[in-house]
């Protein structure tokens, strides 16, 4: 087990950009979570709002096993103030297998405390988190938050992959 996995879900590709940027900073692998197009298009978006609101899960597909990585970063949009069903499914299936993890949220309105609370309930041992607005992704402020987030994950990686569990250099 070593390194960083960045698992992300997206409908409109903002999270794709975030996932690739954080993966570059952490030299991580990227894995896209897909939902067999259940939420494609305008009607799909409408169904997505309802499913997210009622905290539904959905059938998903992804490639990599989070168990193989020292740390996992989950990148997710906010849907109806909640987790998209695909991210709920992914965390239900995998959170117990993750040794260290953090999450990044992307939304189009300032994130509410209630929303953060819902994500934290699903990922209760997150070591780091932050949220960004769509329109900030190309701004300096986003890079600053992303770097702070990356630092917190780097500390774990350096401790566990480089020095090993007993703090002895491997």
Strands 101-107 and 129-133: parallel
Q: Report, in Å, the least distance between residue 162 CB and ligand FMN.
A: 32
In the complex, the smallest distance separating the C-beta of residue 28 from ligand FMN, rounded to whole angstroms, is 18
Cα separation values, 72 from 63, 119, 138, Å: 14, 15, 24
Q: Which is nearer to ligand FMN, 79 or 103 (CB)?
A: 79
CA gyration radius, the chain = 16
Length of the chain in terms of residues written: 170
Footprint of ligand FMN on this chain (CB under 6 A)?
10-15, 45, 48-49, 77-81, 106-109, 134
Please say whether the beta carbons of 82 and 17 come within 8 A. Answer: no
CB of 39 to ligand FMN, least distance (A): 7
In this complex, which beta carbon is closest to ligand FMN, that of residue 48 or of residue 156? Answer: 48
Cβ distance to ligand FMN smaller for residue 80 or 116: 80
């Amino acid at each position: 087990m070593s390194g960083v996995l960045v698992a992300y879900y997206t409908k409109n590709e903002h999270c794709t950009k975030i996932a690739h940027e954080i993966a570059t900073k952490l030299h991580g692998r990227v894995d896209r979570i897909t939902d067999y197009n259940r939420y494609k298009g305008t009607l799909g978006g409408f169904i997505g709002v309802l499913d997210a609101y009622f905290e539904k899960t959905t059938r998903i597909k992804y490639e990599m096993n989070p168990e193989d990585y020292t740390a996992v970063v989950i990148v997710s949009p906010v849907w109806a103030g909640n987790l998209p069903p695909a991210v709920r499914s992914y965390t239900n299936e995998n959170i117990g297998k993750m040794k260290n993890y953090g999450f990044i949220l992307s939304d189009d309105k300032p994130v509410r405390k209630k929303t953060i609370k819902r994500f934290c309930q699903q990922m209760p041992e997150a070591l780091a988190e932050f949220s960004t607005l769509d329109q900030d992704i190309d701004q300096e402020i986003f890079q600053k938050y992303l770097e702070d987030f990356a630092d917190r994950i780097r500390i774990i990686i350096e401790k566990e992959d480089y020095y090993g569990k007993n703090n002895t250099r491997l």
